[in-house]
Amino acid sequence: MNIEIKDIKEDLNHLCQEYINIITRMKDEDIINSDVYHKCTSSKIDFLEKTKSL
């Protein structure tokens, strides 16, 4: 089994984006507030921005 770093990076990007989408829906439906939203998504957004430049 040979897993390439590129594949792992793509999977992580996809998972982070899905996570952000779910948290955004929760915020839009007033299940969570903006503070919780930012706390939950900030590291994922940072990760996505950093991996775009790699």
Query: What is the predicted pLDDT for the residue at 52?
Result: 81
Q: Are 35 and 29 in contact (CB under 8 A)?
A: no
- What does the chain look like in DSSP terms, one character per residue? ----HHHHHHHHHHHHHHHHHHHHHHHHTTSS-HHHHHHHHHHHHHHHHHHHT-
Query: What is the predicted pLDDT for the residue at 1?
Result: 64
In total, how many domains does the chain have? 1
Give me the average pLDDT of each 10-residue run along the chain (54 residues): 86 96 98 98 93 74
Q: Are 16 and 47 in contact (CB under 8 A)?
A: yes
Query: What is the predicted pLDDT for the residue at 54?
Result: 63
Domain range for 40 is 5-52
Query: What is the predicted pLDDT for the residue at 2?
Result: 77
